[in-house]
A and B are shown apart, each in its own frame.
Chain A
């Protein structure tokens, strides 16, 4: 049986842990609202971009002159897995779920005899992937110095990816991130980003009319593809942020509740041993008095 002093110390330590988890939970709740608003605000651009892409992609599909970003290199030997994780912990299984999905994919690709490379975004995915694939890390993009990865980061990442692609470093790129469903569920998601898949959007009524392209379709497509890639990366970063905060909120809520339960248990134990100590003392006094 732990001594009274020890129990008191433990209760206090759990209490201060609870304070931290509670604070983190509230911060996550506030940030989640912001992240959701950000994701909401980015939606109009993404949907319009997708519909423009869909209508142009449909036109260009059969052409030989279509850009490589769209048609692919003609091979699928080297796969680049772009893994986007967060920079901070305290968010439950959020990061490990993403990493797990990426590892599964990497293992299955390696089993097929493909070459796997990684492009990492965010600090938390780095350690586990480097441990398992020390030679396959193509690049690590550091986001820990910016408060919230935004469009500027998406632009830089897309630029680097296109650069690597043009150098012929990889043939196919898949992006791993977490889709935000609600504060309780975040789904690790895999998405092909290069070659750019034609978005599946219902072709709008304008498709019937003859649309004039200035300059021609191929040039517009060549211009739009990198931009579309940026939009997708930006969307993924936003989803990741919302997911991270959601996961953090849930995890911290659980942690706070567990800490509360533990405090209750320890307090009961503390009171029992205190009472036991008093009883023993009383018995000693009474026994002493009787002996007189």
Chain B
């Protein structure tokens, strides 16, 4: 089982893929999201970066977002961001 991760900006759907884990820099601290995570809605700090782990133990991929918002639900993790850098 893997986590479905979506990254969406107003202009387009940037990512839609299955990953192992994403570490989200939430407004009140970082948290890792694995499959089956309890539903959460959280703001994202502008100075943080999303760490995307494709598989267990793999080197994380860093995605910087501005004006972000994370939602964890049944369908996985959805990050709404106004701007994605890089």
Interface residues of A (CB under 8 A from B): 38, 41-42, 44-46, 48-49, 52, 55-56, 150-151, 154-155, 204-206, 209-215, 219-220, 223-224, 227, 230-231, 234
A51 to B82 CA separation, bound complex (whole angstroms):
17
Check if B49 is an interface residue, CB within 8 A of chain A.
no
Note all chain A residues with C-beta closer than 8 A to B26: 214
Note all chain A residues with C-beta closer than 8 A to B28: 214-215
A216 to B78 CA separation, bound complex (whole angstroms):
19
A103 to B12 CA separation, bound complex (whole angstroms):
35
A48 to chain B, nearest CB (A): 6
Closest B residue to A214 using CB positions: B42
Interface of B is mostly: strand
Closest A residue to B43 using CB positions: A223
Closest B residue to A206 using CB positions: B73
Q: In the complex the two chains form, is B74's CB within 8 Å of A206's CB?
A: yes
Note all chain B residues with C-beta closer than 8 A to A41: 11-13
Interface of A is mostly: helix
A155 to B83 CA separation, bound complex (whole angstroms):
12
Closest A residue to B71 using CB positions: A52
Cβ < 8 Å to A, chain B residues 30-80: 38-43, 67, 69, 71, 73-74, 78, 80
Q: In the complex the two chains form, is B12's CB within 8 Å of A220's CB?
A: no
Check if B8 is an interface residue, CB within 8 A of chain A.
yes
Q: In the complex the two chains form, is B41's CB within 8 Å of A211's CB?
A: yes
Interface residues of B (CB under 8 A from A): 6, 8-13, 26-28, 38-43, 67, 69, 71, 73-74, 78, 80, 82
24 contacts between A and B (CB under 8 A): A38-B11, A41-B12, A41-B13, A44-B6, A45-B80, A46-B10, A48-B8, A52-B71, A52-B80, A56-B41, A150-B11, A155-B82, A204-B73, A205-B74, A206-B39, A206-B73, A209-B39, A212-B40, A213-B41, A214-B27, A215-B28, A219-B43, A220-B42, A230-B82
Given contacts A48-B78, A214-B28, A220-B43, contact A227 B12 (CB under 8 A): no
A230 to B69 CA separation, bound complex (whole angstroms):
14
Given contacts A41-B13, A49-B80, A227-B69, contact A215 B27 (CB under 8 A): yes
Note all chain A residues with C-beta closer than 8 A to B41: 52, 55-56, 211-214, 220
Q: In the complex the two chains form, is A48's CB within 8 Å of B39's CB?
A: no
Note all chain B residues with C-beta closer than 8 A to A52: 41, 69, 71, 80
The 9 closest A-B pairs by CB, nearest first: A214-B42, A206-B73, A211-B39, A41-B12, A45-B8, A44-B13, A212-B40, A151-B10, A45-B10
Note all chain B residues with C-beta closer than 8 A to A219: 43
- Which of B9, B10, B26, B82 lies at the interface centre, i.e. has the most chain A CB atoms within 10 A of its CB? B10
Given contacts A214-B28, A220-B41, contact A231 B10 (CB under 8 A): yes
Closest A residue to B70 using CB positions: A214
Note all chain B residues with C-beta closer than 8 A to A214: 26-28, 40-43
A78 to B69 CA separation, bound complex (whole angstroms):
33
A210 to B72 CA separation, bound complex (whole angstroms):
12
Q: In the complex the two chains form, is B42's CB within 8 Å of A213's CB?
A: yes
A227 to B65 CA separation, bound complex (whole angstroms):
15
Note all chain B residues with C-beta closer than 8 A to A55: 41
B80 to chain A, nearest CB (A): 6
B4 to chain A, nearest CB (A): 13
